[in-house]
Amino acid sequence: MARRKFATLKRFLDYIGLEGDRTIFTWISASEGERFANVIKGVTAKVRALGPATKLVKKL
């Protein structure tokens, strides 16, 4: 179910024009320490490349 929700959410956010790389999903087991580190490295690299978010960010 979660997988289905994420599949549609990612597509939908991309459709309305949010950068696709800002929403990232993956499966990690509690035992996969190294994989976890790699995923986080990958995610931060992607987000860093995009720069600070401007869409859907509220300014008071």
Partner 1 sequence: MENIDKKLREEAKRLLEEKKVDVLIGYETGTLPLTATPCFITNPEDAEKLVWNAFCTQNLAKFVHDLISQHRESQKRVKPEDRKKKVVGVVARGCTTRSIVLHLQERQYARDEIVIIGVPCTGYVDRKRLSALVGGEDIREGAREGDQLVVKTAVGEKRIPLKDALAANCLTCRFNNPIMSDVMIGEQAPPMSPDQEYVEIEAFENLPTEERWAYFTKEMNKCIRCYACRQACPSCYCKTCFVEQSQPQWVGLGEDATDTQVFQLMRLFHMVGRCVDCGSCVSVCPMGVDLRKFLKKIDKDCFELFENRAGSSMEDAPPLSRAKEHDKEDFVFNP
Smallest distance, partner 1 to C-beta of residue 48, A: 14
Residue ranges in 2-21 that form contacts with partner 1 under rule CB under 8 A: 3-12, 14-20
- Count of positions on this chain that bind partner 1 (CB under 8 A): 32
- Determine, following the binding rule CB under 8 A, whether residue 58 of this chain makes contact with partner 1: yes
- Determine, following the binding rule CB under 8 A, whether residue 44 of this chain makes contact with partner 1: no
**Cβ-Cβ contacts under 8 Å for 20 (sequence gap 6 or more):** 10, 13, 14
CA–CA separation, 33 and 18 (whole Å): 30
Which is nearest to 26 in space by CA: 45, 44, 46, 40? 40
- Determine, following the binding rule CB under 8 A, whether residue 48 of this chain makes contact with partner 1: no
